[in-house]
Homo-oligomer: A and B are copies of this chain.
Amino acid sequence: MAAIDDYARLVVRVGVGVRAGQDVLVDAQIDHAPFVRAVVEEAYRAGAHHVDVEYRDPWVRRAMVAEASDDAFGYSPPGLLARMEHAKETGAAVIAVSGGSNADVYEGLDPARLARARMPAVEESWLEAVNDRKVAWTIVAYPTEGWARETLGAPDVDRLWTAVAHAMRLDQPDPAAAWSERLDELEARARAMTERRFDAMRYRGPGTELEVGLIRGARWMAGRHETADGHRHVANMPTEEVFTSPHRLRADGTVRSTFPLALRGGMVEGLELRLSGGEIVEARAAKGEDILRAELEIDEGARRLGELALVDVSSRVGETDLVFRNTLFDENAASHIAFGAGLSWTVERVPDEQRDGEALNVSQTHVDFMVGAPDVEVDGVEPGGAAVPLLRDGVWQLA
């Protein structure tokens, strides 16, 4: 675990690029404490004004889901809301640390109550901060025993740590430089995609036969972001994707997930969706169907698509050959699609007459599910109808 300080430094310097005098928010679980402490130290060394750590405890959430009356569900504590609003107002840096799905913690609970254990006002404030590019944010993960058990079937934190360190390029002589190079590569890919001005994307594989329309003029982007006032950050680390927001009214066909999906403390496996006119009209799952259905009920936008992301086999996450059972990692091992909110910054430069206020999806949720695999082919469809291969055997095809 000698690399824990290197990891903290990477997250603080590259992930959010903490600036002198900036407030920093850290959201983590109590079992992330060793990493959190290293991050706090690094953030102050980088000149942070104040670092505000919010420790979550999944067992506290379990107690609420198990014992609370209905009034507790959907309640947003004023303190957490004020904390987020302040972050927005002052342009804070936000470091969110994820672990496993905590599926073992939540075992035996009523899935409907589990899905309703949300804080909508806090979530909305956060989505606003992200969409209006008010905060410099990054989501990273820290290996815990619980996550190791879920990923490896044993509490082998060292082995999980080795895989995470590979995905995070901490095994490189200069991790920050390695990330800079990779992010340049992904941005070049995103530029090429934007310049091709595809009209739609087509997915073909076992259980998948889907075409999704794109928004005219929408950008493809990579993980390096910039806030409205020019503060560079990397929204997820690791990141291996190029992505855009699709047209909310144009998706038809069926799609089957290729990885399990950690959602609201449960696992959704064997997810299958049927879409028509952009809407999810059928949803099934071999496991966790209750949690999936509850999520699709959050609002109308939850049943439409908000993101298309392409990931090829040169992904360092993919190289580990692990199913991490953690969206942050799994979404960067394989191409994925999200239902729920579209990403406003992908359509920022789209002229109003092409946006017509209807193309970008709006929702309180945003859930990525993995659709990529070696036997899933992805094409870009040109306005004239010609199909251009983008992924074959998981390899990137576009020059």
Contact = CB atoms under 8 A, between A and B. Distances in A.
Interface in A44-103: 44-45, 47-55, 57, 59-60, 63-64, 66-69, 71-72, 75, 77-86
Contact of A68 (B48, B71, B82): B48
Contacts of A47: 69
A381 interface: no
B68 A78 contact: no
A68 B21 CA distance: 10
14 contacts: A30-B30, A30-B33, A30-B55, A33-B57, A36-B57, A37-B63, A40-B60, A44-B64, A44-B66, A44-B69, A51-B68, A52-B77, A77-B83, A77-B86
Question: 9 closest pairs, A vs B, by CB?
Answer: A79-B83, A82-B82, A44-B67, A55-B55, A40-B63, A78-B86, A30-B30, A41-B63, A37-B59
Contact of A77 (B40, B44, B50, B72): B50
Given A57-B37, A60-B51, A78 B72 contact: no
A316 B79 CA distance: 38
B40 A69 contact: no
Contacts of A72: 44, 48-50
A74 to B, nearest CB: 10
Contacts of A50: 64, 68, 71-72, 75, 77
Contact of A82 (B41, B52, B63, B78): B78
A119 to B, nearest CB: 10
Interface of A: 21, 30, 33, 36-37, 40-41, 44-45, 47-55, 57, 59-60, 63-64, 66-69, 71-72, 75, 77-86
Nearest to A76: B50
Contacts of A79: 52, 54, 79-80, 82-84, 86
Contacts of A64: 40, 44, 50-51
A85 B41 CA distance: 30
Given A21-B71, A86-B78, A53 B57 contact: yes
Contacts of A36: 57, 60
A72 B22 CA distance: 11
Contacts of A21: 71
A368 B49 CA distance: 32
A44 to B, nearest CB: 4
Contacts of A68: 44, 48, 50-51
Contact of A53 (B40, B44, B60): B60
Contacts of A52: 77, 79
Contacts of A45: 67
A82 B48 CA distance: 22
A47 B40 CA distance: 37
Contacts of A48: 68, 72
Given A49-B72, A59-B33, A60-B36, A78 B67 contact: no
Contact of A71 (B49, B53, B78, B83): B49
A30 B77 CA distance: 20
Nearest to A68: B44
Interface centre among A45, A59, A63 (most CB of B within 10 A): A63
A49 B85 CA distance: 24
A49 B77 contact: no
Nearest to A80: B79
Nearest to A86: B78
Nearest to A84: B79
A82 B80 CA distance: 8
Contacts of A80: 79, 83
